[in-house]
Amino acid sequence: MYNLFKLDNGLRVVVENIEQFNSVSVGLWVENGSRNEDAVNNGISHFIEHMMFKGTKRRTSKQIAEAIEDIGGQINAFTGKEATCYYVKVLDSYLELGLDVISDMLFNSNFAEEDIEKEKGVVVEEINMSEDSPEDVLMDLHSIAAWGQESISRPILGYEHTVRGFNRTMLVDYLQSYYIPENCVISICGKVDMSNIKEIVEKYFGDWACNKKSITKYNNPEILKSNLFRKKDIEQLHVTLGIPGIEVGHDDIYTLILLSNILGGGASSILFQKIREELGICYSIYLFISSHINVGTVNVYAGLNPQYIKEALETINFELKKFSTDSISKEKLTKAKEQLKGSYILGLESTSSRMFSNGKSVLFKDKINTPNDVISRIDSINHEKIEKVMDMTFRKGIYNSAFVGKDSTLLKDIYKDNLDEFSFNHTKI
């Protein structure tokens, strides 16, 4: 049973009651992330997420954690390019406590100068840890290859020089501008008394009002055709290849997911079978979708010995062209639909996963996608829809690429004058 309503202050609330569960998950979704930032405050959304856990007027940092963990619950948060989410999962009898803790963090966080300085060191270490991960470096590099100077290309963590520049005034001003009811959603899923849930949410969030208001709106950035390499003293060469995709919430997103699964979604996919199983030239290869507001990409990732890069690129390009022109048999389409439905349903077998799904859907598209709606959309995929999505995505071919490895010599031979070396100074965008 679902209920979607809006408080007088503009805060949207989505509630899903599941009687057979004994838990409840609560999430505060904020339509704000690194895509809202500029070159000076890059990383501030993620930093604010950290600071929310550092203590309030009512609770110390330890007491915030203990309030939920002492009753066997979970509390956490994450920041993305377009959204930040604070969430708890508790037994259903502690629903109000979950709402109380999240509202306390939202309205009463101290942002003490001493805590800010300490947390700068923590976040810088997180950035350093990300720098030690070739895959993380690659993803940030590919964002720049795909979007250039657009805000969507900025890393979620920011850079050390931006994080070191944060102060209390910057943080509070940013919070008051973007953390407003109109940009937010409360998502609740689990065993919930639907008769009084609106009054309970009103109790904790009904008085929320802000003078400064920055209603989140995003532009339509152009997908660039560029190729970037960043030097890292590692043995493997890590690769991502970008293909135009479709935006989050698009009517044809499930058709794209289905096609992506066939091409590179698992061990039975075309690319895995060809590149790893048949040719044996890499350990890891897969395809993933990055769908954002107004824009999206489809990406192929591979990690391999640099000596195989030419063969890998040629094979991937060949298989991509073949995939986009060959017809998908009725039998294969049926199997792909069942696979997609199965993974979708299995992914919803917890209150937290359903809370995430509902919250994100309402935040970005102002509607609920029920499991029945999604299954119906998957069942409706036909060859006409496949042709439409093929034209929008795979048939356009590879637009951009990013590489992280020790040596770019082989890549320069392949790309000639179309590959740019990337140094740290270029990251200040």
Catalytic (active-site) positions: 49
What distance in Å separates the CA atoms of residue 387 and residue 395, rounded to the nearest whole number? 10
If DSSP codes are grouped into helix, strand and coil, which group holds residue 422? strand
Q: Which residue from 52, 33, 54 is spatially nearest to 42, judged by alpha carbons?
A: 33
User: How far apart are alpha carbons 392 and 302 in whole angstroms?
Assistant: 23
Say how far apart CA 147 and CA 153 lie, in whole Å.
6
List Cα–Cα distances, 398 to 225, 282, 316, 320, 321, in angstroms: 8, 20, 10, 9, 10
CA atoms of 381 and 373, how far apart (whole Å): 13
- Between CA 89 and CA 95 the distance in angstroms is 9
Q: Shortest CA distance to 420 belongs to which of 287, 285, 225, 243?
A: 225
What's the CA gap between 90 and 97, in Å, rounded?
9
Q: Count CA atoms closer than 13 A to 77's CA, side-chain side.
A: 25
Residue ranges with strand state E in 9-82: 12-17, 23-30, 74-79
What Å distances lie between residue 291 and 61, 144, 190, 244, 248, CA to CA? 34, 16, 27, 10, 5
Residue with tokens 């569960």: 21
DSSP sequence for 323-392: HHHSPPPHHHHHHHHHHHHHHHHHTTSSHHHHHHHHHHHHHHHSS---HHHHHHHHHT--HHHHHHHHHH
- Comparing C-alpha atoms, which of 234, 403, 397, 415 is closest to residue 324? 397
| Rounded CA separation 246/292 (Å) | 8
Distances (CA, A) of 67 to 107, 168, 281, 325, 381: 17, 26, 51, 57, 46
**Other beta carbons less than 10 A from residue 408's beta carbon:** 20
Specify whether the CB–CB gap between 144 and 138 falls below 8 A. no
